[in-house]
Amino acid sequence: MDAFVKLQDIAIHMGLEPAEEVPHRPGLTAAPPAAVSPQIAPCGEPLTPHRLSTKKEALGIQEAVRPGGQPIRLLKTLLTSACERNCYYCPFRAGRNYRRHTFQPEEMAQTFMDMHRAGVVNGLFLSSGIIKGGVTTQDKLLDTAVILRQKHGFRGFLHLKIMPGAEREQVRQAMTLADRLSVNLEAPNDQRLQTLAPKKEFMRELLQPLRWVDEIRRTEPGQLGWHGRWPSTVTQFVVGGAAESDLELLTTTEFLHKQLQLRRVYFSAFSPVVDTPMENHPAENPLRQHRLYQTAFLFRDYGFDLEELAFNQKGNLPLEVDPKLAWARTNLQENPVEVNRAAPEELLRVPGIGPKSAQTIVTARRRGKLRDEKDLQQLGIATKRMKPFVLLDGQRPSYQLPLWEE
């Protein structure tokens, strides 16, 4: 069968697979840019034809942003859309009735390189359904990567999936070939995973490969990695599919960021797929996904710990308020931060101050005191959100309480 027909059939189910960041397109979402990660789902959900609006999208090509910020045209696809496992949420699960396709490694590498040489794509996100076990499937992914790097001399961006149950040596080899690796944990612990994917083992099959990546990164020199550095790692959780709480999700998220150095945790609000055991399970509120992203960034970029956050009795974050704003109302409203003296890590705790603006403030105040709001605005820093929580040269800036939550 023609390779492009196969890619098109696979792409119908791949649109929501997490890969790299997608550029923010105003109007597509009400969420602020910090939370505009790819709309995601486990292995994707069927997209209606009008959403695959261009020929490129129909083949699985996505405009994305590389780790580091460069734009990239990414082919997101699978070596095979057949799978012997039966995850309850997944369109590729065994026994679901639709047309499956398989690429051999040589065929996939050649198809991608044809598209690359034609200037259509410059990066590849390659995953796979599982056939003959995770180890055999991982070998095929690795074979494809070796052909791309060694036979075709491809030096562009490659994101490889690590299959459940892959062996340590396979993980290590993937680290020498890819720019990014991902293992989808899907759930925060084994108990919740059984609700979603009864044939997956959380600790042995999913978490262990991420532990190996971390161990190899710590014990072997980065020059052994592709481009002289080890690849970054990411994962994904399905949110709202297993009755899991935010506390469970964020406990594991904090561990992944702080102990295993994951670059990114993706949260995918559950969305039911027809003709799966979970087709009648309600879709999750996207606002919950948004709050989880905001909190994960607090762990990764802002120095927050899990125990500093407020959860309700069910272990969930309040949906109606940004978690950083909620923390600041409790901790800073009566004890505002003096912008001229605060340490960078204290500045980062203030709503409206991110890593870049904290650094700008630290640099600017070496030249002289920041006396009022205008001094900050002249530095390009928006002041609206920070005003209730700071002092400028000993004075609180004037502010009005918002009429509604932001």
Report helix, strand or coil for 105: helix
Nearer to ligand SF4, 241 or 397 (CB): 241
Q: Report the nearest approach of ligand SF4 to the CB of residue 199 (Å).
A: 8
Q: Report the nearest approach of ligand SF4 to the CB of residue 302 (Å).
A: 32
Nearer to ligand SF4, 90 or 328 (CB): 90
Distances (CA, A) of 5 to 10, 12, 55, 92, 167: 9, 11, 12, 17, 33
Q: Report the nearest approach of ligand SF4 to the CB of residue 89 (Å).
A: 8
Asked if 249 and 237 count as a contact pair (C-beta separation under 8 A), the reply is yes
Q: Report the nearest approach of ligand SF4 to the CB of residue 213 (Å).
A: 19
Task: Scan for tokens 């491809």, then name that residue.
Answer: 154
Which residues are within 8 A (CB) of 367 and not within 5 positions of it... i.e. 6 or more apart?
none
Asked if 254 and 297 count as a contact pair (C-beta separation under 8 A), the reply is no
Q: Report the nearest approach of ligand SF4 to the CB of residue 209 (Å).
A: 14
Nearer to ligand SF4, 42 or 209 (CB): 42
Q: Report the nearest approach of ligand SF4 to the CB of residue 329 (Å).
A: 40
Angle 295-216-171 from CA coordinates, rounded to 5°? 85
Which residues contact ligand SF4 (rule: CB under 6 A)?
A: 42-43, 83, 85, 87, 90, 92-93, 129-130, 197
Q: Report the nearest approach of ligand SF4 to the CB of residue 197 (Å).
A: 6
What do you get for the CA distance between the two ends of the chain, in Å? 51
Nearer to ligand SF4, 62 or 137 (CB): 137
Q: Report the nearest approach of ligand SF4 to the CB of residue 94 (Å).
A: 7
Nearer to ligand SF4, 134 or 397 (CB): 134
| Rounded Cα gap, residues 226 and 206, in angstroms | 23
Nearer to ligand SF4, 42 or 231 (CB): 42
Nearer to ligand SF4, 129 or 240 (CB): 129
Q: Report the nearest approach of ligand SF4 to the CB of residue 92 (Å).
A: 4
Sheet with 71-78, edge to edge strand ranges: 61-65, 71-78, 123-127, 157-161, 180-182, 232-239, 264-269
Asked if 225 and 176 count as a contact pair (C-beta separation under 8 A), the reply is yes
Q: Report the nearest approach of ligand SF4 to the CB of residue 43 (Å).
A: 4
Task: Scan for tokens 């119908």, then name that residue.
Answer: 12
Nearer to ligand SF4, 92 or 327 (CB): 92
Nearer to ligand SF4, 166 or 337 (CB): 166
| Rounded Cα gap, residues 83 and 195, in angstroms | 19
Closest CA to 75 of 147, 14, 163, 5: 14
Distances (CA, A) of 103 to 189, 220, 339, 403: 33, 33, 58, 56
Q: Which two tokens stand for residue 1?
A: 């069968």
User: DSSP letters of 125-167?
Assistant: EEE---SSHHHHHHHHHHHHHHIIIIIS---SEEEEEPPTT--
Report the DSSP pairing between strands 71-78 and 61-65.
antiparallel
Nearer to ligand SF4, 271 or 383 (CB): 271
Q: Cα-Cα-Cα-Cα dihedral of 15, 21, 24, 27, to 10°?
A: 30
